[in-house]
Chain A
Amino acid sequence: MLGGNLMLTIWLWSCIGMIIVTIVTLKLFYVEGFTEDEGDYTKY
């Protein structure tokens, strides 16, 4: 599919790997444990 070119192959598999890593990281560290921001930015 990628004409047997090494650079194109590196590109494709790196993209696939990063999609997996991002989804897993968001699931593990970005879904829970946040508190609401009640800050009033008009006050200094």
Chain B
Amino acid sequence: MIDPIVETYVWIGLVVFLIMVVVLGYIGSRQTKILADFTIGGARLGPYILGAAYAATFFSAATFVGYVGWAYAWGYSALWVFLAIFVASTAGALTFARKARTENIKQRSQSLPDWLGDYYNSDFLRAGVAVILMFNLFYVAAQLTAGAYVFNLLLGWDYLTALAFITIVVVGYVVAGGTFADVYTDAVQGVLMVIMGVICFVTGMSYLGEGGFNQLTETLRGIDPKLVAVFNPDAVHFYALSAVVGVFIIEYAFAAQPQLFNKILALKKPGDLWKMIMTYFVFAFCMMLVIFVGFFAHEIGLVVDVPDHTIYLFSGTVFHPIVSALLVMVIMSAALSTTDGLIVVLATTFSNDFYRKTLVKRGIIKVKSQEHMDRTALKISRVATVFIGILAALLVIDPPAFIGTLIWYGISGVASGTLGPLIIGMFMKDKVTAKGAIITMFLGVISYGIIFTMGFERSVMAAGAWAVCISTAFFLIYTLLFPKKEGVS
């Protein structure tokens, strides 16, 4: 039974949130006139807004819902995901960002597949990576589930009604404003997520009393000694050092995920990258503090049947209804800020990577003029957005047990096929070949499929990491054995 006072505040919060999204979506729509506006904001956005948007896109409902669930179920070992993101993903961003943005001064690519296709001068690679990006439908689906839970658990809506509503909202403003709407809403949502991460941590700490973390550790140990272990054998992703290493590798690769990569391309001045990365860095730390809620939930005696529900039950137990309402907005923010970015890049694969850069470029489809092609491509982006939203919603008609795990089906799939061509290409520009990159792309995805489906690795995160290692190592060796003399682009 939902407290009527909480329900009232949640409704007020949601209405305010939806008005904000609609207004920002409208502002974005006014600025979206050509395809490049939809895909990368016309490459004219500033560093602070993009840094906030990068963080908001990076941290999804999986952080606020799924990773809190991991912390509740698996204890301190879940802090490995905090570290993997804070250390490895930041290292990934520092590795890729400068090269990706500066190369794009010449290339003017509009997505990750496009960037790789232009860099290697290969339409096949562009189309192949675009197909691989479809793995991220799982990622979109997981976010939609998390958003639907808000209405389902806190307002008592039927799950399917909630799923339909959240899908319509996010598809609506992406159709209208593309990357501008994505980045504007993400930046505001990112600020909300930072505030909530800090509030959750500070509030949880207040329940520890004078005993502090010592008391928390004893509480967890009293429930189950595995909850305070460095490696918890029950934790799917943190059961041993090898699995944790895998998590670090895949989180390193995550920094180059297409929905983040296009935000680097959207930056107006490449020299402002350090401001963008620093903004992300500070935001990231504050947002991830929410993971501690999973530990604090044990301290206040919460018994949770479904780990993904921990954040909602914690909120209902410790927070004033106004803060609970803010949390609802934040979880919605976390879900939408990632979903919109993902939908933009998936729509871009149809409009830019397939239509403009493959079908039109190769003369398979004739166009009257560049302007006509651009208008058509923009329309394709918008139609594809609707199509992707519906498809993702259909994937989670039956909600998954762990949304934090579902997202990794997508991320691991994308990373396994893209990281090798990206990283080796960036650092061995004069030696790599398109042929080697294409073989690497296939090898990565096939390796991921075999490792995970054949049961060689039970963690989907680690399975992706091993596939990334195999494909990247192969491309390195291949490039050393068969270097190109003239360079790539």
Interface residues of A (CB under 8 A from B): 1-8, 10-11, 14-15, 17-18, 21-22, 25-26, 29-31, 34-39, 41-44
B198 within 8 A of A: no
Contact B86 A14 (CB under 8 A): yes
The secondary-structure label for the interface of chain A is loop
User: A30 touching B217 by the CB < 8 A rule?
Assistant: no
Which B residues are within 8 Å of any A CB, using their own CB?
34, 36, 40, 42-43, 76-77, 79, 82-83, 86-87, 90-91, 94, 97-98, 102, 104-105, 108, 110, 212-218, 228-230, 268-271, 273-274, 277-278, 281, 285, 356, 370, 373-374
CA distance A6 to B34 in the complex (A): 53
A29, B104: Cα distance in complex, Å: 18
Counting chain A CB atoms within 10 Å of each CB, which of B97, B217, B229 scores highest?
B217
Q: Contact check, A30 vs B277: say whether CB atoms are below 8 A apart.
A: yes
Find the B residue at minimum CB distance from A25.
B94
Can you name the residue of chain A whose Cβ is closest to the Cβ of B88?
A18
Known contacts A5-B217, A29-B98; A18/B86 CB under 8 A? yes
Shortest CB–CB separation between residue A35 and chain B, in angstroms?
A: 7
Q: How far is the CB of A29 from chain B (nearest CB, A)?
A: 6
Give 4 closest A-B pairs by Cβ, nearest first. Answer: A3-B214, A41-B36, A34-B271, A30-B274
Residues B94 and A22 in contact, CB atoms below 8 Å apart? yes
Give the docked Cα–Cα distance between A29 and B110 (Å): 24
Give every chain B residue within 8 A of A6 (Cβ-Cβ): 230
Q: Which residues of A sit under 8 angstroms from B105, Cβ to Cβ?
A: 35, 37-39
Task: Evaluate whether A37 and B76 lie within 8 angstroms (CB atoms) in the complex, with A8-B217, A18-B87 already known.
Answer: no
16 new A-B contacts, CB < 8 A, other than A22-B94, A41-B42, A44-B373, are: A1-B212, A2-B213, A3-B218, A7-B229, A10-B79, A10-B83, A10-B230, A15-B86, A17-B87, A22-B281, A26-B94, A30-B274, A30-B277, A37-B268, A38-B105, A43-B370
Distance in Å: Cβ of A22 to nearest Cβ of chain B:
6
Say what secondary structure dominates the interface of chain B. Answer: helix
Number of A-B contacts (CB under 8 A): 100
Nearest B residue to A29, CB-CB: B98
Asked whether, in the complex, the Cβ of B87 is within 8 Å of the Cβ of A7, the reply is: no
Max count, chain A CB within 10 A of own CB: residue among B271, B356, B370:
B271
Q: A7 contacts B212, CB within 8 Å?
A: no
Residue in chain A with minimal CB distance to B106: A39
Contact of B34 among A8, A26, A39, A41 (CB under 8 A): A41
Interchain nearest-CB distance for B314 vs A (Å): 20
Nearest Cβ on chain B to A15's Cβ, whole angstroms:
6
B281 near A5 with CB under 8 A, answer: no
B43 CB contact (under 8 Å) in A7, A30, A37: A37
Question: Does A5 contact B228, Cβ atoms closer than 8 Å?
Answer: yes
Contact A22 B108 (CB under 8 A): no
Contact yes or no, B108 A7, CB < 8 A: no
* Contacting pair A22 B83 (CB below 8 A): no
Return 16 A-B CB contacts under 8 Å, by A number: A3-B214, A3-B218, A5-B213, A7-B76, A7-B77, A10-B83, A18-B86, A30-B97, A35-B270, A37-B43, A37-B270, A41-B36, A41-B40, A41-B108, A44-B370, A44-B373
A residues in contact with B43, CB < 8 Å: 37, 39, 41
Chain B residue nearest to A15 (CB atoms) is B86
- Which residues of chain A have C-beta atoms less than 8 A from B98's C-beta? 29-30
